Amino acid sequence: MELLNGFKNPFRSEYKRWVFLVGLVAISHLLFQSFLLPYGNALRSLLLPGIDDSIEGNYGNVVSRVRSGSKSVVVRNTLTINGSDFSTRDVILFNGGNGGGDVGISSRKIGDWVEKGVSKVIFDGNVDDDYAFENGEDLNENAVLEEVIRDQDNYVNATSRIEQVAKHGGEVSTGELRDVNTTSQYPALSSMANTTTNAGSSFRSTPLQSDHTVSKSNSLMVAKQGKKKMRCEMPPKTVTTIDEMNRILLRHRRSSRAMRPRHSSIRDQEIFAAKSRIENGPVITNDQDLYAPVFRNVSLFKRSYELMERILKVYVYKDGKKPIFHLPILKGLYASEGWFMKLMQGNKHFVVKDPRRAHLFYMPFSSRMLEYTLYVRNSHNRTNLRQFLKDYTETISAKYPYFNRTDGADHFLVACHDWAPYETRHHMEHCIKALCNADVTAGFKIGRDVSLPETYVRSARNPLRDLGGKPASQRHILAFYAGSMHGYLRPILLKHWKDKDADMRILGPMPPGVASKMNYIQHMKSTKYCICPKGYEVNSPRVVESIFYECVPVIISDNFVPPFFEVLDWGAFSIILAEKDIPNLKDILTSIPQERYLALQLGVRKVQRHFLWHAKPERYDLFHMTLHSIWYNRVYQIKLR
């Protein structure tokens, strides 16, 4: 018995020591892991080692990362959402408001998405000031994208899975992402991303900078910006006046700079013959459809437009995948490119399936979706956007014989984003570019390129909502402006005129909300002259808004080529002033005789039809005016051997 008790006591003593030791090791491990996996994820890492649900804060942005085999999901500004019923290779796009906040999405839910094949989940609630609605409404441009994409059933299979581009110890970096299908379709793009190897496939690339290096470069960029202002924050070094623009247009009409095709086709001959018919047709003295004073030459326009309707055929390239290609965005600040894309691709009168029948070739990409999809926020680097379009251009030039025949002179693009001139430089240099950012100092070619109206569309179902304004006799406000302080010019405008004169309603940003929005609209409907100063770039949606509400636009933007400059006489329905004339703004406006103002306001009402989108295109509307200017410039650019 004593011997048995001797065995039990040592066993109990050793057992207690063993339990204590194991407990101490477990507690130490948890404490150690808590430093590596903050916010209480240490225990989860022990219980669920296959899931790394880490949360990193970066200026209010929340990024959740999930690792599950070879698939990855990246979520920015996460919210609680329902992840059920997603098909394979889906792309989910959400807007997370204004950043930060609690994270209400679980690792289990994200894991379900990964198992169901969800390829990309993006939450982005932060929108650059460039995209804020300029009349004071606090517009979240990404919310517009969310709504549009949610409404389009064919979007979910548009894009393949997102590939990792920067790895640290096998984990997903919070840096750049790119679409595997996109980069594999345009191989040169792979030089901008890191190598990813999956079962049986690999992609050639050059390693990217680490997160630390990127942060360091961004810091250097901020420091550099502190010493040297950005281009959009300074007045232009050279100014091209509206009179000089008119002379440039006439000079280019007399002597085309377009390259002769390497071999002319029957389509070239048809366009060349159309030029002779336009110039030698009868003079129109009275036309019931068109108001002659708003045109440079209503006879030339009328004949050119009718020939376009009878002759023009357009081939729309099928190459390129959504969302950058073939996905029209019909709301928001850059809606013009989306409306044209939608109406062009659905048009049965102009579009042909056989490219051999085409006079013009349309490259249907969205500059807004290009920026949204590929630009790395705060990177201050847009090289990959330009490279992407370069790869696309090289793809269609290698696949088809048409681009190389004219170096792209019979190809055209329609892009409204401010960055489009940079993105299309060099590789699309000879194409006809319909651009909202029609800045002669940024490469816009008068007589070849087309100034595309930047129109803010609030309702895709009813783009004509709130159309019109008060008659001239009931407009008692001399001048009105309200909007954000984008760029260098608007603060100058407010410095001279804010709260200085009762006749000059010059305001800053208006508060958000429906009441403020209606107040803004009522001001434009009750004002004689609506001031349209440039923002960061020369273009502004306020020009078309003024026409929309029948208010005479006063354009203050050096080097800006007004929309449809090749056919419209802007002096018949607008006032164009130099930026240096801001101190004399009231004197200039009050010096305009009443008869002159009434003629301008009538011109605004008559030209209004040319700046309106319709769900079903109508003659002389914005869709047809854009297409006509592209056709018209091609007619006057073509050369034959």
Please give the pLDDT value at position 588: 98
Q: If DSSP codes are grouped into helix, strand and coil, which group holds residue 81?
A: coil
Please give the pLDDT value at position 12: 57
Is residue 190 a contact partner of residue 203, using CB atoms and an 8 Å limit? yes
Say which residues have a Cβ less than 8 Å from residue 621's Cβ, sequence separation at least 6.
Answer: 609, 610, 612, 613, 614
pLDDT of 243 > 50? The answer is yes
User: CA torsion angle for 493, 495, 501, 505 (degrees, to 10)?
Assistant: 50
Split at pLDDT 50, 70, 90, the class of 164 is: very low
pLDDT of 620 > 80? The answer is yes
Split at pLDDT 50, 70, 90, the class of 257 is: low
Q: If DSSP codes are grouped into helix, strand and coil, which group holds residue 179?
A: strand
List of domains in the chain: 242-251+259-458+621-637 (no CATH), 472-611 (3.40.50.2000)
pLDDT of 261 > 50? The answer is yes
Please give the pLDDT value at position 216: 37
More confident residue, 154 or 523: 523
Please give the single-letter amino acid code of residue 567. Answer: V
* Residue whose token pair is 């997903």: 172
Instruction: Give mean pLDDT, residues 265-279.
Output: 90
At 408-438, the pLDDT tens digits run 999 999 999 999 999 999 999 999 999 999 9
At 340-390, the pLDDT tens digits run 999 999 999 999 999 999 999 999 999 999 999 999 998 989 999 999 999
pLDDT of 228 > 80? The answer is no
> 135-139, 433-437, 454-458, 495-499: which range is least confident on average?
135-139
Is residue 240 a contact partner of residue 621, using CB atoms and an 8 Å limit? no
Neighbours of 406 (CB within 10 A): 24
Q: Give the span between the Cα atoms of 474 and 299, in whole angstroms.
A: 35
Helices (H), 280-334: 298-311
Say which residues have a Cβ less than 8 Å from residue 134's Cβ, sequence separation at least 6.
Answer: 333, 456, 483, 484, 486, 535, 540, 541, 542
Please give the single-letter amino acid code of residue 340. Answer: F
Q: Which candidate, 147, 164, 215, places its Cα nearest to that of 459?
A: 147
At 289-317, the pLDDT tens digits run 999 999 999 999 999 999 999 999 999 99
Split at pLDDT 50, 70, 90, the class of 456 is: confident
> 331-335, 395-399, 471-475: which range is least confident on average?
331-335
With b for 16 or more beta-carbon neighbours within 10 A and e for fewer, the 228-243 pattern comes to eeeeeeeebeeebebe
Is residue 533 a contact partner of residue 490, using CB atoms and an 8 Å limit? yes
